[in-house]
Chains A and B, each alone.
Chain A
Amino acid sequence: MQAVNTPIQKNEKLNANTNGTDQKKTSTDEMNNSAAKVGKTVGKPFATNPKMTMRNVDVFYGDKQAIHDVSLDIGKNEVVAMIGPSGCGKSTFLRCLNRMNDTIEICQVKGEIKLEEMDVYHPKQDVVPLRARVGIVFQKPNPFPKSIYDNVAYGPRIHGLVERKTDLDEIVEKSLRRASLWEEVKDRLHAPGTGLSGGQQQRLCIARTIAVSPEVILMDEPCSALDPIATAKIEELITELSEKFTIAIVTHSMQQAARVSHRTAYFHMGKLVEVNDTKRVFTNPEHELTEAYITGRFG
């Protein structure tokens, strides 16, 4: 049987994807090393109305460099999806945005990351106010082994956002409503959060995050442990939340990136290969590696 893609198509594709990048110089020999093909980021990495700006970010784990010179903007009320093969550094990069990498001693971040005027990695910048502004939702639903109410109320309590119990009740209700969980749990607010189903737990985690009223929400593969129905609910939620929050989401599901995000960033071996409007990325990506990844041609 003959392969679908004849050599002619290959050449065509190469030409098609070169637009102004150094790809034109790529010879057939060099193609054997895909890392060599990652040059400057192609597409539209910058936003007109940025909420977070990252410039020339390098991340090292000890001697190993995990992120190479990544520059990216996340626009206000924008949903940016980060995709790429396992180990490409997308999660590492996401965790830099609210310094969750601080817990790893050997992790070192260079370059500039800014949340509006705040320099995230400034030596004098405390992580507590940063994380109050940049919330994070993790891959595995991780509610505290406490009641649903206490889970949501934890953030406002530690940050001293409220003084009266009624205000706290209000925040809890509002957050749960926004996470589309209120109707399901309003009668058992004092039941343990760990007793909920996986999808509900993840929405509880989202409610817990938004209870602090952050400006940016980071999501690290929020649906990878959930079934399709729960995933659909979370995706719906992300779309609703984008009206109020700025969202950066790492996902392994390309369809999910295609469904929820405005712009999609493709990472490959620690480098940001391409950032483009999601529509563009999934119909006609600029970079050959992006194409190979989203069409399922990576072995």
Chain B
Amino acid sequence: MTNSNQALSTAEKVNQSLQKRYRAEKRFKAYGIGAIAFGLLCLVVLFTDIISKGHSAFFQTYVKLEITFDPVEMGLDDPSDTKQLAMADFDSIIRNALKEQFPEASGRRDRRALYAIVSNGASFTLREQLKDDPALLNQTVSVWMLADDDIDTYVKNREDADGETFAGRISEKQMGWVNTLIENNQIESRFNTTFFSSGDSREPEQAGILGALMGSLLTLFVTILLSFPIGVAAAVYLEEYAPQNKFTDFIEVNINNLAAVPSIIFGLLGLAIFIGFFEMQRSLPLVGGLVLTLMTLPTIIISSRAAIKAVPPSVRDAALGLGASKMQMVLHHVIPLAMPGMLTGAIIGFAQALGETAPLLMIGMVAFVVDIPGAITDPSTALPVQIFLWSDSPERAFVERTSAAIMVLLAVLISMNTLAIWLRRRLERRW
């Protein structure tokens, strides 16, 4: 009887505590959801901010003008002569076209304001056009040309949500001319190909990220090529061959410490060794890659060691038991099985390297580089450095370009992580 009584009371107690446990469980779950929600919220705010600021950079304002390719004005008689073409004054025919359209601008100041509507890069467009089609000489054609960044900003933002007019840095006269152009359908917003196809520029409307992107990719190429094989080899040696003693312990502690060393220290190291001692040039993707290799190695070694450790010992035993040598065991079994883990770690390291700015500043990859680098020995800059540079510029058009560049960087990072997941899925095997 006492037994059944006890059993009953135990069940009751359990039932009572069960409610409490359920509540505790729910709370626990809620904390987790809260944490994730907070993270997501931050991410959404960040993305909204970046996208709302940056999306407009993907469009660029163009102005249509009736251009007369007057050989006298340009000082050119043979369009096929590259020397003449290079020397030709295309700005004057643009000025003429503007003067023709807006004859009311008469004073020096007004004229200058008028001429500022079109980007000073527009003359390059005309030059290219004439070069492609020499028959245009002496003819008058409608040409779409880049608008100046201030005009671009005004066109994009002239009416905000409250219906108030936003002038930006342009004068009222300019505003009037632009409005006339808009009324005449002589102003158009087009997809900004310049942004993706050119290097840096002082003029925001002519600035692009291709140079920085190429610089980043070249740097990353050097980093991948060096750090992955070196990191994997080091990890394999430490895990499979190194004897367990004070020295390997010392190495291990040091590797773990290096992973936490601020990246700028690696920049200083690179500056001292590669540029100071080996006398390499500054601003090279090669040097950047070497520095980032130093920075990424600890991450790759640590993650590769973890992946190698995770290979079940039974597989090693099986290989050794069959009479495989240690190298055969490592090459045939351990590395293939550890590869997904090693790749994941490596790609995280590369993504980190791709977003790294500080060490690159130290080795001079912060330079203003207009040309798009084609090799690892061409001076270049990198995406994050470009973002850093642009974010420092006062022009409003650079603000949106900064955000756009961040979006590009994020896109590259996301695609790298996707690649990591895909590779892991692809290579992962169950055992």
Contacts and interface: CB of A to CB of B under 8 A. Distances in A.
> Quick check: do A and B touch in the complex, using CB within 8 A?
yes
Interface of A: 98, 100, 103, 105, 127-132, 135-136, 138, 140, 142-145, 154-155, 158-159, 192, 194, 205, 208-209, 212
A134 B431 CA distance: 25
Given A138-B314, A138-B318, A140-B314, A145 B429 contact: yes
Contact of A105 (B244, B314, B318, B323): B244
Contacts of A143: 318
B32 to A, nearest CB: 34
Contacts of B312: 142
A158 B315 contact: no
Contact of A209 (B314, B316, B320, B322): B322
A244 B320 CA distance: 23
B430 interface: yes
A115 to B, nearest CB: 13
Nearest to B321: A136
Given A145-B337, A158-B328, A208-B322, A138 B430 contact: no
A100 B323 contact: no
Given A105-B243, A158-B328, A144 B321 contact: no
Given A142-B317, A144-B318, A131 B323 contact: yes
29 contacts: A98-B321, A100-B317, A100-B321, A103-B316, A103-B317, A105-B243, A105-B244, A127-B323, A136-B321, A138-B318, A140-B314, A142-B318, A143-B318, A144-B315, A144-B319, A145-B315, A145-B431, A154-B322, A155-B322, A158-B322, A158-B323, A158-B324, A158-B332, A159-B323, A194-B430, A205-B318, A208-B318, A208-B322, A209-B321
Nearest to A129: B323
B165 interface: no
A125 to B, nearest CB: 13
A135 B430 contact: no
A209 B328 CA distance: 17
A194 to B, nearest CB: 6
Nearest to A138: B317
Nearest to B317: A138
A103 B321 contact: no
Contacts of B317: 100, 103, 136, 138, 142
A218 to B, nearest CB: 8
A191 to B, nearest CB: 13
Nearest to B430: A194
Contacts of B254: none
B127 interface: no
Contacts of B324: 128, 154, 158
B325 interface: yes
B333 interface: yes
B320 A100 contact: yes
B61 to A, nearest CB: 59
Interface in B230-286: 243-244
Interface in B314-361: 314-325, 328, 332-333, 337
Contacts of B431: 145, 194
Given A138-B314, A142-B314, A212 B430 contact: no
B321 A128 contact: no
B322 A103 contact: no
A103 B317 CA distance: 9
A155 B322 CA distance: 6
Given A138-B314, A138-B317, A194-B430, A144 B333 contact: yes
Contacts of B320: 100, 103, 127, 131
B325 A128 contact: yes
A140 B313 CA distance: 11
Nearest to A126: B325
Contacts of B321: 98, 100, 131, 135-136, 138, 209
Nearest to A128: B323
A194 B431 CA distance: 6
B246 to A, nearest CB: 14
Given A100-B317, A103-B316, 10 more contacts: A98-B321, A128-B325, A131-B320, A131-B323, A136-B321, A142-B317, A145-B315, A158-B323, A158-B328, A159-B323
A132 B325 CA distance: 11
B254 to A, nearest CB: 22
A127 B326 CA distance: 10
Interface in B285-332: 312, 314-325, 328, 332
Contacts of A155: 322-323
B135 to A, nearest CB: 67
A212 B323 contact: yes
A265 B155 CA distance: 95
A205 B324 CA distance: 15
CB-based closest 4 A-B pairs: A131-B323, A142-B314, A136-B321, A132-B323
Nearest to B325: A128
Contacts of A158: 322-325, 328, 332
A155 B320 CA distance: 10
Contacts of A159: 323
Interface string B393-431: 000000000000000000000000000000000000111
A39 to B, nearest CB: 34
B269 to A, nearest CB: 35
Given A100-B317, A194-B430, A131 B337 contact: no
B189 to A, nearest CB: 56
A143 B323 CA distance: 15
A45 to B, nearest CB: 26
A290 B188 CA distance: 98
A86 to B, nearest CB: 19
Nearest to A208: B322
A92 to B, nearest CB: 14
Contacts of A100: 317, 320-321
Contacts of A135: 321-322
A101 to B, nearest CB: 11
A7 to B, nearest CB: 39
A132 B320 CA distance: 10
A25 to B, nearest CB: 44
B44 to A, nearest CB: 41
A135 B322 CA distance: 6
Nearest to B244: A105
A100 B316 CA distance: 11
Contacts of B243: 105
